Amino acid sequence: MAVRQFHDGALRVLRPHYLDESGQVCYVVINPGGAYLGGDRYLIEVDVAPGADLLLTTQSATKIYRTPGSRAEQHMRLRLGPRARVECLPDPLIAYREASYVQATRVDMDPTASLIMAEVVTPGWSPDGALFRYDEIRMRNEISIGGRLTLLDNLLIRPGTGSPVDSMCTMGHYTHLGSLLVMDARVDAALVADIHALLAPIDPDGQLGITLLDGPGLALRALSHSTEPLNALIGAAVDHLRGRWTAQAPLNLRKY
């Protein structure tokens, strides 16, 4: 059950609600201002008690507008107690012309906890259909398990410098990127193979890679020409894990 919540400044947190009968609580973060602007700095802190089950999402896409002179930043801190479970599934991040953005997430979790974090990055587009070229997106995820740094995941995209490169792939002619991190003791090579076989047919024109991590866990990166295939890939992977581990139905966030 949800115990307490607090917000101050531009970000708001809606009252908790429940999407099914599993007892998993859902919190929705909203930005009444509609977008992140230059100089904006946001902090989100979440503590998940032992045995608690949380789904964290956003009301709509996170939009980054022009940031002349100073980038926008979001910092998140997640703490997961024993047997806690978190699914962090925001709507896509959309960066517009001349946008610069940093997102840093730090997770401290018990070895018995379970974490699923997803992200889709997409360029904004103008009314004539042309894609905007943002300046830079930096994403950094630090995950510690049992007090030991287990995963350091850095992503840097600079469309204006040619082919954006991160530690796992070159985007080349692709414009949209999807990422999924799963840290759970039940992840093994067989599960990674199952998920790859499930997802490979979804976007035949895109690129997909899944890596088994020491943690244990897995990291997924996908490249595409649009948002919809990436949402479908991540949704299918999350639904597969939910059905396999918690016998929950496919996720329906009902944002309407």
Domain range summary for the chain, segments of one domain joined by + = 12-246
Maximum separation of any 2 CA atoms in the chain, in Å:
51
Confidence band of 163 (pLDDT split at 50, 70, 90): very low
Which run of H or E residues covers position 48? strand 41-48
CB contact at 8 A, 222 and 207: yes
pLDDT at site 70: 92
CB contact at 8 A, 67 and 42: no
CB contact at 8 A, 141 and 109: no
Q: What is the mean pLDDT of the chain?
A: 90
From CA 243, how far away is CA 246, in angstroms rounded?
6
Least-confidence region, from 17-31, 65-79, 104-118, 156-170: 156-170
Structure tokens at 191: 């599960």
pLDDT tens, 194-221? 999 999 999 999 999 999 999 899 999 9
Q: What average pLDDT score do residues 6-14 get?
A: 80
The terminus-to-terminus CA distance of the chain in angstroms comes to 24
Q: What average pLDDT score do residues 17-30 get?
A: 92
From CA 143, how far away is CA 132, in angstroms rounded?
32
